Amino acid sequence: MTLQQLKYVLKVADKGSINEAAKSLFISQPSLSNAIKELEKEIKITIFTRCNRGITISNEGAEFLGYARQVIQQSDMLEEKYLNAEPAKQRFCISTQHCTFTANAFVDLVKEFGGSEYEFTIRETKTYEIIEDVKTLRSELGVIYLSNYNEIVILKLLKESNISFSELFTSKPHVFLSKTHPLADNIMIQLEELDDYPCLSFEQGEYNSFYFSEEILSTRSVKKSIKVSDRAAIVNFMIGLNGYTISSGVFPKYLHGDDIVAVPLNADENIKVGVIMHKDVTMTKLGEIYLEALKKITMEL
């Protein structure tokens, strides 16, 4: 296995086509195909599944590519430091539940990094996919929460995936509402007071288990339920439909001014928000910057 082979498979994954990757690498398509086949034979897995429409990445291949990215990134950093090579384009990816503070920390990362070339990705996605992204090294870090209800199941899944969980903060549940909502001025909200209002939650797709819900108390029966896939929709439905969602009390006002308020919920629950990371991976400098930005923001909120 060589660095050249790793660069080849990463380029194919990036282009989604062996032919396009060959053009970008200025080599022939047969040469690239043979190099990939030799690598697959050596490591005894199939990285790419070939079909008439092109290629797809196998599950084993996705995990291998994650490790390959780490190796190439470290190699680029060594060359830059000791061989005076041109600074390589830095790449960094995190996966997170739909949390406003994770996006703000991402802004701080980009500002502090300040490099001339970079390719950063933030994936606001489903809970199961966050864990898969970190497991396969698609993302260096993930941000999820644990509750009294899901903690045992999620921690078991993380252990099986060789992933660690590091707590950022613990909070009590809050109800997020529009400032014009009839319950917005309450000092505390009782669960039964929410019965006549739409309950807003993030849909979890194929893995729509209560354990993977982004909202606590997800097993309770509600009369009105609206599931969405993005943060903007939830905010719109809070304002336009008097909807609500239940989460931590962390919701930076600079994002939506005073339009949304967080009122404590009378419930015997804790929300433990934390960062997950693959145990076999050493955190990069970009990961360290992002984690420090997360810690700073959550301490200020």
Domain boundaries, the chain: 3-68, 170-272
Kindly list the distances between the CA atom of residue 14 and the CA atoms of 72, 167, 266, 298, in Å, as whole numbers in the listed order: 14, 33, 48, 34
pLDDT in tens, 280-296: 888 888 899 999 999 98
DSSP count for the chain of H helices, then E strands: 10, 12
Same topology, domains 3-68 and 170-272? Answer is: no
Structure tokens at 113: 């990094």
User: Is the CATH number of domain 170-272 3.40.190.10?
Assistant: yes
| Structural tokens at position 243 | 């909807």
Q: CATH top-level class for 3-68?
A: mainly alpha
Q: What is the rounded CA–CA span in Å between residue 262 and residue 188?
A: 10
Tokens standing for residue 46? 């199939």
Q: pLDDT tens digits, residue range 24-60?
A: 888 888 888 888 889 888 989 898 887 766 788 888 8
Q: Is 114 left (phi over 0), alpha (psi -120 to 50) or beta?
A: left
Q: What is the spatial distance between Cα 203 and Cα 196, in angstroms, rounded to a whole number?
A: 21
The answer to whether the beta carbons of residues 147 and 271 sit under 8 Å apart is: yes
Query: What distances in angstroms separate CA 234 from CA 23, 200, 228, one per listed residue?
Result: 44, 7, 7
What is d(CA 84, CA 165) in angstroms, rounded to the nearest whole number? Answer: 37
Give tens-digit pLDDT for 201-212: 888 887 777 888
Residues 130-139 have pLDDT tens digits of 998 998 888 9
* Residue labelled with tokens 């939830």: 234
